[in-house]
Homo-oligomer: A and B are copies of this chain.
Amino acid sequence: MNKDIENKLQAKNIRQTAMRQLVLKVFTEEKTAVSLPELEEKIERADKATLYRTLKTFELNKLIHKIDDGSGTTKYALCEDTCTCSPHDLHVHFHCSKCDKTYCLNDIPVPLIKLPVGFSLDKVNMVVEGICINCKI
């Protein structure tokens, strides 16, 4: 219930507000990644600026992670409970070029890359583009 949402926020030391609870609720109900325009649709009377700031706060506190799926609109998805957002527990994302939905492939970790000498690794964004199971004929 709502208790669950409140707990999740508290666990990450994020101040409780109605807007944040609503946004987090949307994330828990969605199976695919969420973009800002989608949030605007689902949440009445929501201000863009507030939503962007809410997402930034959530990302900073590792409640959600950012996905750059190449669609031109940044999407976000819930982190798994154990996620530290370090390169070790990053997973591959899938972007459907037909329905524009983006999936977290939580079971597929991003392969480790051996960088050239002198380059240091911080994080990895790996997006596979194709047709998803719901769009294939």
Binding site for B on A (CB under 8 A): 66, 68, 70, 92, 94, 97, 105, 108, 110-111, 113-133, 136
Q: Are A128 and B136 closer than 8 Å at their CB atoms?
A: no
Q: Are A132 and B118 closer than 8 Å at their CB atoms?
A: yes
Q: Which 7 A-B pairs have the closest CB atoms?
A: A118-B133, A111-B111, A122-B130, A126-B126, A68-B70, A120-B130, A121-B130
Q: Could you list 9 A-B pairs, sorted by A, with CB under 8 Å?
A: A92-B113, A97-B122, A111-B111, A118-B133, A119-B128, A120-B136, A123-B128, A125-B127, A126-B126
Q: Are B124 and A126 closer than 8 Å at their CB atoms?
A: yes
Q: How far is the CA of A70 from the CA of B117 in the complex (A)?
A: 23
A45 to chain B, nearest CB (A): 28
Residues in B neighbouring A111, C-beta threshold 8 A: 111, 113
Q: Are A115 and B136 closer than 8 Å at their CB atoms?
A: no
Residues in B neighbouring A92, C-beta threshold 8 A: 113
Known interface pairs A117-B133, A130-B120. Does A125 touch B70 (Cβ–Cβ under 8 Å)? yes
Q: How far is the CA of A105 from the CA of B124 in the complex (A)?
A: 14
Residues in B neighbouring A133, C-beta threshold 8 A: 116-119
A94 to chain B, nearest CB (A): 6
Q: Are B122 and A94 closer than 8 Å at their CB atoms?
A: no
